[in-house]
Structure 1
């Protein structure tokens, strides 16, 4: 164990079947547990340490983890993921099992928001509340696509040489800038440092592209946000270029327990200057 600021931090490897997941917990295990689920191609480092520390300081036991094919968790050959999207949702429950937690508050970002919804739908007794950040409700069609500028940018990934770490790093830096909102200046230096740290922490960064294969899977017809019966908090930036704000607003139309916290000018990111606001509403939402 170690201390980060005034917060006790512990690391743990959850091993099951053919995978190992690297996890890190902040705070007191006696406090209500909050499991953080990050998005596509992103290790747990994309949950900022200050975010985790401040949420722990609000009396929560905060767990973040590297999903399969990210960070220090099990990696598979690029193009050959030996797991499904539903397996990733079940991984969240396996982590709760590994920590001896009966039920937790789930917080999912982007793709992690889809995974958190699926976990809540398929394992309702294991989920106390759900928080969805910069994501979209499962099973809801007819919502706006990402902005044209972001679509043009992301199309460049199709011709990217994923064995060229320099080219990958350059693309991810551009991606981080494209996903930024309008409320705060984009911190290119901090983004570059995080990308370098993330890339240097895994044996096969190209394996993370396996997540895109999972996103193309057909979801079961029963997986629909309207069937979520735990309290739902939606946090969504009004300038999100990947999932426009209409995706966040759709939650409060279809999910009976949903409430929406708009981040004015926020993008598809957890910006350092928005951490205090986000932690405050999550702490209020998970306060039981």
Structure 2
């Protein structure tokens, strides 16, 4: 079983396929490395694709201390995976929790990112919902810890932004729910407490985001309500950022709409590698509706 070891001694499971420009896929809280299988299959035809199980997600190690989980540590783990493979730069692709890690990767290590794809990221960012999000995150952590993943997975998997996947693709959603049921009870609880409940809002990072020049694609589903406004904020704030909204789509974007996701991501990467994904044209003034002079 392929593994790398992080600087703080945590063993992470990874999978790799293909050759070419590197792509690193970072999974969401409700998934794991296997959640990227549609993308690993598609992009490994022309890219060196790597995905890994985050700490707390077997077969990676499950540290027992909440202080071994944080947003900064999640980014450090992504860097450790690249370093272990001798990769200087990669296209970084993340969903939800992985999308947050992707944003922070760009802020902390812009020299290591060829591009950033931030999908379904935004939970807890809206200032009016910050307290609620932190509270419900801790409640979810308690449910994983007390009831166990197998018992709690069916409830979590039918969240307001997950049922779209269930309606469109019952078999795919069942695979997602069954995978969630195999998560470590302790790992899920500590990840929720250490990473999700403590991460800063995008609005708190506005000045840093405005200074980040990495080509960025933000993708959200139009029924993923608490990611829509954060997605628009990222579009308006990051200089070289594009925003795509998938219609009638929820949170689990890459699995719910794999063909659309892959086509969009492939087009984005092609534009980046051709030098055609640039900062917004300074003539495109946000306050202007029509030019008169």
Which TM-score bucket, shorter chain as reference? 0.7 to 0.9
Local SS of the residue matching 1:162: helix
Corresponding residue number in structure 2 for 1:130: 116
Corresponding residue number in structure 2 for 1:3: none
Number of aligned pairs?
Answer: 264
CA 158–119 in structure 1, closer or farther in 2 if over 3 Å, else same: closer
Structure-to-structure mapping, 1:60-99, within 5 angstroms: 60-77=47-64, 80-99=66-85
- Which runs of 5 or more structure 2 residues have no equivalent in the other structure? 274-293
Whether 2:86 is the aligned partner of 1:105: answer no
TM norm structure 2: 0.78
Corresponding residue number in structure 2 for 1:232: 216
Corresponding residue number in structure 1 for 2:251: 268
Corresponding residue number in structure 1 for 2:25: 36
Local SS of the residue matching 1:239: coil
Comparing 93-102 with 244-253, which one deviates more in the overlay? 244-253
Local SS of the residue matching 1:233: strand
**Residues of 2 paired with 1:155 and 1:12: CA distance?**
32
Corresponding residue number in structure 2 for 1:286: 269
Choose the corresponding residue for 1:23, options 7, 14, 38. 14
Choose the corresponding residue for 2:189, options 199, 205, 209. 209
CA 159–91 in structure 1, closer or farther in 2 if over 3 Å, else same: closer
Task: Tell me the CA shift for residue 182 of structure 1.
Answer: 4.4
**Residues of 2 paired with 1:81 and 1:186: CA distance?**
39
Aligned 8 A contact 2:221 2:228 in 1: yes
Local SS of the residue matching 2:31: coil
What RMSD in Å do the two structures reach over aligned CA positions?
3.2
Aligned 8 A contact 2:217 2:268 in 1: yes
Deviation per residue, 1:11-59 (Å, 9 max, x gap): 631113311111001222xx11110111225321222x122211223x1
**Residues of 1 paired with 2:53 and 2:165: CA distance?**
29
Deviation per residue, 1:49-105 (Å, 9 max, x gap): 122211223x1221111000012111022x634243201101111111111111000
**Residues of 2 paired with 1:93 and 1:122: CA distance?**
10
Task: Tell me the CA shift for residue 271 of structure 1.
Answer: 5.6
Choose the corresponding residue for 2:43, options 49, 55, 62. 55
